[in-house]
A and B are shown apart, each in its own frame.
Chain A
Amino acid sequence: MIRREMTNPEIDELIDSQPAPALPADRLKQIETAVTADLKPVRPLAPDSAYLAGLLGIFLIACIAGCFIGPHGWHVLSGLQKVTVLVPLAATTALVAFSVVRQMRPAAKHARSSALVSAGVFVVLLLIMMVVFQPAQESAFLRHGLACFRTGMVFAIPAAFFLALLLLRGAPLSPLLTGATAGGFAGLVGLTVLEIHCPILNVYHIIFWHVSVTLACIVAGIVFSSVTFWRWPSNR
């Protein structure tokens, strides 16, 4: 005997035939009382462009400060290296900033997709770095590397702090994504400063020590966000 499969409209009909659970009236009253008891006018969140301008400000201030500590890297980079490294770096940072701003509002479009695209652009950036920079002899790989890592973090940490201040008014819903993107933004600020500041063109130095600033910030962002997410003003 061949049994006929149910069609989609039949399944819909079946779902529609289910009785709707009734919401207890006393609970509805309780909710109304709780919400209206603390009713004050609120100022809606500023437009995305205002927050993007704030993040751009953080990024530019960090770059300018990077030039003040010595733009040695800028002087030794060739024109091709400047374009192929700094343009994708700026693009990744812009996409990450866009994603962070979008995450401040629930159900905002492109919050997740822009974060995914920025991760893709970052991978492309790493591949470009492997092509445009060559391996070179470096006498103090560890010492120079640690100095670069420290410099990168010196710029990334204040960037993360100011970013957190901007984010405080938002209502991010995904601790993992928000932590990763906010950490990523701070890490990219540190990486950009290092590309302007560091004169070492050894590909291993750049991939290992410079990029590790971004990766460390992403990990720190995820950990910090997971721990503090439940104390965030919107979740308390």
Chain B
Amino acid sequence: MERSSEQQMEESREIPEPSVTTLEQLMVRYQQADEIATRSLIQQLSPQLYRFFAAQLGNSGEASDMLQDTWLRIHRVRHTYRAGEPLIPWVYAIARRVRVDSYRKRRRIAMREFVVDVLPEPASAKDEPADLPPFDQLIAPLPASQREVLTMLKVNGLSMEEVARATSSSVGSVKQKAHRAYERLRGLLQSPRARKGAAT
């Protein structure tokens, strides 16, 4: 049985179209307390923010905690977003602040804790992995700033300009960090086993 055109119109009115509405428009509606836009924004941004945290931490539990912290902070400072400005750098600037705060908090806690059991030794740089290591382990030997830039560029797909704004630095500085990160990764991937893993 064919549906009437009225029914079809009704359905199209009910279904939100996130692909048509840009993130910036959703953010403006979020500022105006539009619940559908807020949910849509959370659903669209959360997976990539989660990848941003998970790629640098390698711990999914902490990554989801940080994601929640990020959204709570975004909620508190949502009035500081200005319509017409790009949203992604604004979100990532807050996300990286949450990551820094969380790192400091963990370090403070770790300083107060006593080791009561023998912990497994972390993999040293000399140990050659049996297969290609996951991304978070692959970039672990890189300095934090290079790791962050590489994650934003390659995992989250931000542009150089967006990374520069999110990290309060210049495009030149981002390019330099990315270049150095690639150089370092190239060196790390030179190990025969890693190469073998890459080939498989």
Contacts and interface: CB of A to CB of B under 8 A. Distances in A.
Contacts of A235: 73, 101
Interface in B59-81: 60, 63-64, 67-68, 71-73, 75-81
Contacts of A20: 47, 51
A32 B39 contact: yes
Contacts of B71: 31, 34-35
A30 B185 CA distance: 37
A176 to B, nearest CB: 12
A11 B46 contact: no
Interface string A29-49: 011101110111111110000
A45 B85 CA distance: 13
A107 interface: yes
- The range of chain B's interface size is 35 or more
B56 to A, nearest CB: 12
Contacts of B64: 23-24, 27
A187 interface: no
A206 B115 CA distance: 56
A112 B198 contact: no
Interface residues of A, number: 49
B124 to A, nearest CB: 22
A200 B43 CA distance: 65
Given A38-B75, A107-B165, A11 B186 contact: yes
Given A11-B182, A43-B79, A234-B77, A113 B170 contact: yes
Interface in B91-121: 92-94, 97, 101
Interface in B10-41: 31-33, 35, 38-39
B154 A15 contact: yes
A79 interface: no
Nearest to B179: A8
A28 to B, nearest CB: 6
B72 A34 contact: yes
A41 B31 CA distance: 6
A38 B73 CA distance: 13
Given A11-B185, A44-B82, A21 B94 contact: no
A28 B46 contact: yes
Contacts of A233: 76
B185 to A, nearest CB: 6
B149 interface: no
Contacts of A170: 80
A69 B77 CA distance: 41
B189 interface: yes
14 contacts: A3-B195, A14-B198, A15-B135, A15-B155, A20-B51, A23-B47, A34-B68, A34-B72, A40-B33, A41-B33, A42-B78, A106-B77, A174-B168, A234-B76
Interface of A: 3, 5-6, 8, 10-12, 14-16, 18, 20-21, 23-24, 27-28, 30-32, 34-36, 38-45, 104-109, 111-113, 169-171, 173-174, 233-236
